[in-house]
Amino acid sequence: MSAAMESARSASAGPELDVVVVGAGFAGLYMLHRLRGLGFSAKVIESADDVGGTWYWNRYPGARCDIESIDYSYSFDPELQREWQWSERYATQPEILRYLGHVADKHDLRRDIAFSTRVEAARWDDDASLWRIRTSRGDEIRARFYVMATGCLSLPKTPDVPGYGRFAGESYYTGRWPHQGVDFSGKRVAVIGTGSSAVQSIPIIARQAAELTVFQRTPNFSRPAFNGPVTDAKKAAFDTDPAAYRAAARLSGAGVPLEPGLVRAFQVSEAERLAKYEEAYASGELLAFGAAFADILSNPEANATVCDFLRGKIRSIVRDPETAEALSPKDHFYGTKRPCIDTSYFETFNLPHVRLVDLRKDPIASITEQGIDTATRSFAFDVIVFATGFDAMTGAIVSVDIAGRNGLALADKWADGPKTYLGLTTTGFPNFFAITGPGSPSVLSNMAVSIEQHVEWVGRCLADMREQRLDVIEPTPTAETAWVQHVNDGAEISLFPRANSWYMGANVPGKPRVFLPYIGGVDRYRKTCDEVIRRDYLGFAFDGPAGARCNDGVVCRLQPDVAMLLDALAELGVPPMESLSVEDARRFVIASAALRPPGPEVGEIVDGELPGAAGGLAYRLYRPASPGPHGIVAYFHGGGWVVGSADSDDPLCRDLCVRSGAIVVSVDYRHAPEARFPAAVDDGFAAVRWIAANAAMLGGVPGKLAVCGWSAGANVAAVVCQLARDAGGPAIAGQVLLTPATDCDFTRASYAENGDGYVLTTALVRWFRDHYADPADRRNPKASPLRAHSLAGLPPALIVTCEFDPLRDEGAAYAAALAAAGVDARHLPCRGQIHTSIPMVDVILSGAPARQEMAAALRRFLAAP
Ligand code: FAD
Ligand code: NAP
């Protein structure tokens, strides 16, 4: 056959294989096994000459896992679990490599793996609906599906050190360690880097070398692993019921069955906190500090207590105070760069032949032929070890020339950061899957668990497609954009983006700063992936002999912390409030208020009483710590005119006080059904008049008065503004209405869309309104301010609405109507929030920007002349 005919034949031919998998590490091995089991033809391409991936390449001295081996192992083969016994809690690299070799033998995997072969390029052929995969052997393989199991930490980064390449002595890279090992005896050795690889190798290199110099740019948090035989407790927990043990791992946050911290760091005394940290330290478990308290990875002050504790431990080990100081991390929060567990790392710096060079003080000027020159010194070495890390998560993927539809290069598509749906797939690249890709929990988890979950999802997807006679799958742009947003939303409420870490791509010059993994946890993530399948592959488009179809949509629309809150509430099985008596509903609100974080400290809190429309009203005044006088905000709590008090909205009032720098006076207006419409608004107006008249006595600036409220309280605030306008005073500088009740029309779309499942249900709104006002009264503008004859002349307004709130559309309508009437009104719609989430200070961190905007609006209103 002529070359032209051969090329034409191959161009028109269908796939030779169902699936090509790249990489023969933990992921590729299981993917191959799974595909075979499902009856697909598959081949693995691996650049190394054997299986193992990470554990093939990283043979540096001291290399071992940092997740206990019982956890960091496959669960798919019960027999394997029974027969393989780990010799240590944290197995060494050779033992893990033996394990993966054993798995390959046991399942006869090697016969379908092409070793010593690199995938150079992969092109999607739209006409033939297949991938053309070109390897370093010059061949091309046609496969229907293309799976990158290329690893998150498999492409070592080229050391970005001046003079790199000049050194005439021996150079080694932890991620590409020679198989025959390295003998450091009698040698002068430099190690550049103090990440996990360095922390593991330094103590062992120090044992052999004549001199060891460690070049440190950023000190890392590390603590003893207390390695040894697998503990009896761990063994018993696993052996008693391996299936239950694995199930618990899958349903955990990080893929290890560990009790998550539910209590916040400052909810306990300092002594209790320190005891918890001592316990975490003694456990030798990597994840123990992150799980010590619920807010370690989100609250800077909580995290700082861990940092202080661990710095204290470093000082207690390292004898030379200057070295101890240099080894103590100060530029990042604990956990925001991958922390380490070690064996005698800090002790090594007490040895006379080991020294530390702090590159922050004395940076590397150049690598030289003889060694390393820093700004102030010249060092001669026999060996330099580069422990400088990896181009993580995206490096191995984009280093292959991957082209999707219309020749789109993946490297170009991801030039500003990776965009994926579920971390598994990406638009424009049909039939492409990345195992533990960016946007999935991957490196924030026990990778063995995350790998198995991805492999099983891909296997299931391919089997479903085969059954439904579909042969092309691609995520939709809507689904992908929303997933990227969701991943970023998660990162934003954590401390992670604040560090210069490889999680952020910050270790590789020129790489975009994007938080690469998904922080939502393996449990939540697994549920999401399962939900996508259950909802008929939501967010995917398919094509094939059975025809084309697209199930466009977004799987995670709630903010991550709001979703967690709803899950927690569902687990508690709280009865719907409208099924309770009014007394029980009030008791319930009081009891839940007692369980929340308190909100920030303010300068002073004073409880008092002011004259309402029909008797005294309790109020609580929050004064800023700054010297006064301050502007005043009259605040009305939420609770459907039936429940609630100054206590229930206390954290929000503190937060508004601190952020706005204003005095907040939270007014306890009368409640229905005892005092029905218009008692609440009459009290509100009376309170505002009294506050305005007594501003100076309260420590405020006379004439500087704004109103604010949440839900029914926002209704009171809005009505008070109308009453004040109509009565000719008092002057109100502005109104901030958080998810206000403004009307009595239940036909708006937000009632249908969000009527159930988001705490404030349509049924509950009805219950509140029935208690508050007769149907005829509800149309009165004093109950439904949207129905006022005119909205002109009202104070400037900020109206905050939440996406998943039955009241959303009436809030938006009020903002629009105010603006139409010429009022300076701004509408702030909050994506992914529910009616009750914004007031939840220190619980719903994603609500902080809205709280900040509310405070900024109050500041602006009160500053206006
Ligand atoms: P890898 O094991 O990285 O395998 C990917 C394979 O793909 C490699 O063999 C590579 O050669 C091959 N490949 C890549 N590109 C190509 C190409 N273009 N053509 C052909 N072949 C290619 N995670 C944990 O959860 N717990 C731990 O304790 C832990 N310890 C670690 C220790 C070290 C030193 C490192 C570096 C990482 C560690 N990790 C740990 C993360 C670890 O990478 C994963 O746990 C897991 O091993 C990844 O498996 P994988 O199959 O996805 O990728
Ligand atoms: P790493 O964490 O990225 O550490 C690289 C180190 O090199 C850092 O200290 C870095 O400093 C330093 N460095 C990089 N470029 C430098 C330069 N130009 N000049 C000076 N210093 C430079 O890489 P790693 O140690 O190989 O670990 C990567 C990840 O693999 C780990 O986080 C972990 O997930 C995994 N791992 C796990 C284990 C385990 O215990 N099981 C062991 C090894 C690796 P900066 O911090 O200032 O960038």
User: 214: which strand partners?
Assistant: 191, 356
Cβ proximity of 234 and 375 under 8 Å = no
Instruction: Please check the confidence at residue 652 and state whether its pLDDT lies above 60.
Output: yes
Average pLDDT over residues 18-24: 98
C-alpha span between 289 and 308 (Å, rounded): 13
Say which DSSP state 156 is in: B
**Ligand found nearest the CA of 447:** 1
C-alpha span between 89 and 68 (Å, rounded): 5
**Structure token digits, residue 247:** 């199930």
Cβ proximity of 689 and 716 under 8 Å = no
**Ligand found nearest the CA of 55:** 1
Q: Which atom of ligand 2 is nearest to the CA of 156?
A: 26
C-alpha span between 679 and 654 (Å, rounded): 26
Give the start-end residues of each E strand in 149-258: 170-173, 188-192, 211-216, 222-224
**Structure token digits, residue 330:** 């100060």
**Ligand found nearest the CA of 442:** 1
- Give the type of residue at 596: R
Say which DSSP state 637 is in: -
pLDDT of residue 12: 55
57, 338, 342: which to mutate for ligand 2, most atoms within 8 A of CB? Answer: 338
If pLDDT is split at 50, 70 and 90, which confidence band does 647 have? very high
Q: 535: which residues sit within 8 A by CB, 6+ positions away?
A: 551, 553, 555
Instruction: Encode 717-739: b = buried (16+ Cβ within 10 Å), e = exposed.
Output: bbbbbbbbbeeeebebbbbbbbb
**Ligand found nearest the CA of 153:** 1
The response to whether residue 496 sits with its C-beta less than 6 Å from ligand 2 reads no
Task: Compute, in angstroms, the gap from residue 167 CA to the centroid of ligand 2.
Answer: 21
**Ligand found nearest the CA of 58:** 1
The response to whether residue 285 sits with its C-beta less than 6 Å from ligand 1 reads no
Say which DSSP state 492 is in: H
**Ligand found nearest the CA of 219:** 2
The response to whether residue 338 sits with its C-beta less than 6 Å from ligand 2 reads yes
Average pLDDT over residues 429-438: 98
Cβ proximity of 621 and 664 under 8 Å = yes
Q: What Å distances lie between residue 131 and 12, 46, 144, 849, CA to CA? A: 13, 17, 6, 44
Instruction: Please check the confidence at residue 10 and state whether its pLDDT lies above 90.
Output: no
The response to whether residue 205 sits with its C-beta less than 6 Å from ligand 1 reads no
The response to whether residue 219 sits with its C-beta less than 6 Å from ligand 2 reads no
The response to whether residue 145 sits with its C-beta less than 6 Å from ligand 1 reads no
The response to whether residue 200 sits with its C-beta less than 6 Å from ligand 2 reads yes
The response to whether residue 193 sits with its C-beta less than 6 Å from ligand 2 reads yes
Task: Compute, in angstroms, the gap from residue 395 CA to the centroid of ligand 2.
Answer: 15
Q: Whose CA is nearest to atom 10 of ligand 2?
A: 193
150, 200, 424, 444: which to mutate for ligand 1, most atoms within 8 A of CB? Answer: 150
Q: What Å distances lie between residue 733 and 98, 520, 854, 859, 863, CA to CA? A: 73, 41, 14, 10, 9
**Structure token digits, residue 109:** 């995997």
Instruction: Please check the confidence at residue 1 and state whether its pLDDT lies above 60.
Output: no
- Report the relative pairing of strands 630-636 and 700-710 from DSSP bridges: parallel
Please report which residue ranges of 535-581 form alpha helices under DSSP H: 560-572
pLDDT of residue 148: 98
Q: Which atom of ligand 2 is nearest to the CA of 340?
A: 40
C-alpha span between 596 and 589 (Å, rounded): 11
Q: Whose CA is nearest to atom 35 of ligand 1?
A: 54
**Structure token digits, residue 781:** 């503008």
Handedness of CA 582, 586, 589, 595 (dihedral sign): negative
The response to whether residue 364 sits with its C-beta less than 6 Å from ligand 1 reads no
Task: Compute, in angstroms, the gap from residue 495 CA to the centroid of ligand 2.
Answer: 19
Instruction: Please check the confidence at residue 9 and state whether its pLDDT lies above 80.
Output: no
Cβ proximity of 847 and 818 under 8 Å = no
C-alpha span between 463 and 443 (Å, rounded): 27
C-alpha span between 129 and 850 (Å, rounded): 47
Q: Which atom of ligand 1 is nearest to the CA of 56?
A: 9
Q: 184: which residues sit within 8 A by CB, 6+ positions away?
A: 205, 208, 209, 383
Q: Which atom of ligand 1 is nearest to the CA of 48?
A: 11
Indicate the helix (H) or strand (E) that contains 98.
helix 93-106
Cβ proximity of 768 and 640 under 8 Å = yes
Task: Compute, in angstroms, the gap from residue 693 CA to the centroid of ligand 1.
Answer: 70
Mean pLDDT of the chain: 96
Q: Whose CA is nearest to atom 35 of ligand 2?
A: 196
C-alpha span between 567 and 580 (Å, rounded): 21
**Ligand found nearest the CA of 387:** 2
Task: Compute, in angstroms, the gap from residue 291 CA to the centroid of ligand 2.
Answer: 23
Q: Whose CA is nearest to atom 34 of ligand 1?
A: 58
pLDDT of residue 374: 98
**Ligand found nearest the CA of 195:** 2
User: What does the DSSP assignment read for 652-673?
Assistant: HHHHHHHHH-SEEEEE----TT
Q: Which of 1-10, 208-217, 423-432, 575-584 has the lowest mean pLDDT?
A: 1-10
Average pLDDT over residues 429-436: 98
User: What does the DSSP assignment read for 443-459?
Assistant: GGS-HHHHHHHHHHHHH
Task: Compute, in angstroms, the gap from residue 388 CA to the centroid of ligand 2.
Answer: 5
Q: Which atom of ligand 1 is nearest to the CA of 58?
A: 34
Task: Compute, in angstroms, the gap from residue 153 CA to the centroid of ligand 1.
Answer: 5
Q: Which atom of ligand 2 is nearest to the CA of 507?
A: 48
Task: Compute, in angstroms, the gap from residue 376 CA to the centroid of ligand 2.
Answer: 25
If pLDDT is split at 50, 70 and 90, which confidence band does 2 have? very low
- Give the type of residue at 264: R
Closest CA to 447 of 24, 69, 109: 69
The response to whether residue 150 sits with its C-beta less than 6 Å from ligand 1 reads yes
Q: Whose CA is nearest to atom 2 of ligand 2?
A: 195
**Ligand found nearest the CA of 162:** 2
Task: Compute, in angstroms, the gap from residue 25 CA to the centroid of ligand 1.
Answer: 6
Rg (CA), the chain: 31
Residue-wise pLDDT tens digits, 164-185: 999 999 999 999 999 999 999 9
100, 109, 154, 444: which to mutate for ligand 1, most atoms within 8 A of CB? Answer: 154
pLDDT of residue 337: 97
54, 75, 443: which to mutate for ligand 1, most atoms within 8 A of CB? Answer: 54
Number of Cβ atoms within 10 Å of the Cβ of 859: 17
The response to whether residue 726 sits with its C-beta less than 6 Å from ligand 2 reads no
Phi-psi region of 532 (alpha: psi -120 to 50; beta: other; left: phi over 0): alpha
Q: Whose CA is nearest to atom 28 of ligand 2?
A: 389
The response to whether residue 502 sits with its C-beta less than 6 Å from ligand 2 reads yes
Residue 767 CA, chain-centre distance (Å), reads 37
Number of Cβ atoms within 10 Å of the Cβ of 488: 16
Handedness of CA 523, 524, 529, 530 (dihedral sign): positive
User: What does the DSSP assignment read for 791-817?
Assistant: -TTPPPEEEEEEEE-TTHHHHHHHHHH
C-alpha span between 772 and 770 (Å, rounded): 5
Instruction: Encode 507-544: b = buried (16+ Cβ within 10 Å), e = exposed.
Output: bbeebeebbbbbbbbbbbbbbbbeebeeeebbbbbbbb
C-alpha span between 261 and 303 (Å, rounded): 13
C-alpha span between 704 and 665 (Å, rounded): 13
Instruction: Encode 666-695: b = buried (16+ Cβ within 10 Å), e = exposed.
Output: bbbbbbbeebbbbbbbbbbbbbbbbbbeeb
Residue-wise pLDDT tens digits, 150-160: 999 999 999 99
The response to whether residue 455 sits with its C-beta less than 6 Å from ligand 1 reads no
Say which DSSP state 600 is in: -
The response to whether residue 501 sits with its C-beta less than 6 Å from ligand 2 reads no
C-alpha span between 440 and 442 (Å, rounded): 6
- Report the relative pairing of strands 604-612 and 371-374 from DSSP bridges: unpaired
Residue-wise pLDDT tens digits, 813-855: 999 999 999 999 999 999 999 999 999 999 999 999 999 999 9
Give the start-end residues of each E strand in 429-535: 432-434, 472-475
The response to whether residue 153 sits with its C-beta less than 6 Å from ligand 1 reads yes
**Structure token digits, residue 13:** 């031919």
User: Token pair 């490599």 is at which residue?
Assistant: 97
Q: Whose CA is nearest to atom 26 of ligand 1?
A: 67
Q: What angle do CA 45, 48, 52 make, to 5 degrees?
A: 90
Provide the whole-model pTM. Answer: 0.95
Task: Compute, in angstroms, the gap from residue 800 CA to the centroid of ligand 2.
Answer: 44
Q: Whose CA is nearest to atom 12 of ligand 2?
A: 193
Q: What Å distances lie between residue 374 and 328, 387, 442, CA to CA? A: 21, 18, 37
Task: Compute, in angstroms, the gap from residue 194 CA to the centroid of ligand 2.
Answer: 6
**Ligand found nearest the CA of 220:** 2
The response to whether residue 65 sits with its C-beta less than 6 Å from ligand 2 reads yes
Task: Compute, in angstroms, the gap from residue 57 CA to the centroid of ligand 1.
Answer: 9
Q: Which atom of ligand 1 is nearest to the CA of 435?
A: 52
The response to whether residue 161 sits with its C-beta less than 6 Å from ligand 2 reads yes
